[in-house]
Amino acid sequence: MGLDFTLWEAHWSYSDFHDFRKRLAACIGMNLDDMEGFGGEIPFKNYQDDIIPLLEQPDSDSYLSPDVCQTVAGRLRQLIRHWPDDDIDKMNALYLAEGMELAHQQNEILGFI
């Protein structure tokens, strides 16, 4: 059991997706565990970064709109560009970015399932 996305083949277990998002958050100077919804009290609105919609989404039964997908995909690619090429999170993140770009092109939501 794990987290999948509509339209694309990115897949993480729930715990691995949490760890992935913690890595992304750290890239922008955020400790995800300090944020609302993740055990802390800091609101996401305190941060201004294009990756925030991916970080603050619930793990399942949620979605990103096509316009948000385009913005998040570009920022996601920037944040992971220096991660090792054989890093499973980087590989999944690239698949996810492609799915987000496809969602934008097709004007469809990207669902977290």
Residue 2 in tokens: 């794990």
Residue 81 in tokens: 């560009």
**Rounded to whole angstroms, how far apart are CA atoms 98 and 69?**
10
pLDDT in tens, 9-59: 566 778 888 999 999 999 999 999 999 999 999 999 999 999 999 999 887
CA angle 37, 42, 48 (to 5 degrees): 100
Q: Is the pLDDT of residue 2 over 80?
A: no
pTM comes to 0.88
Residue 90: give the domain boundaries.
3-112
Q: Is the pLDDT of residue 1 over 60?
A: no
User: What's the domain count of the chain?
Assistant: 1
Confidence at residue 16, expressed as pLDDT on a 0 to 100 scale? 87
pLDDT in tens, 71-113: 999 999 999 999 999 999 999 999 899 989 998 999 988 887 7
Extended beta strands in the chain, E state: 3-5, 8-12, 62-64, 110-112
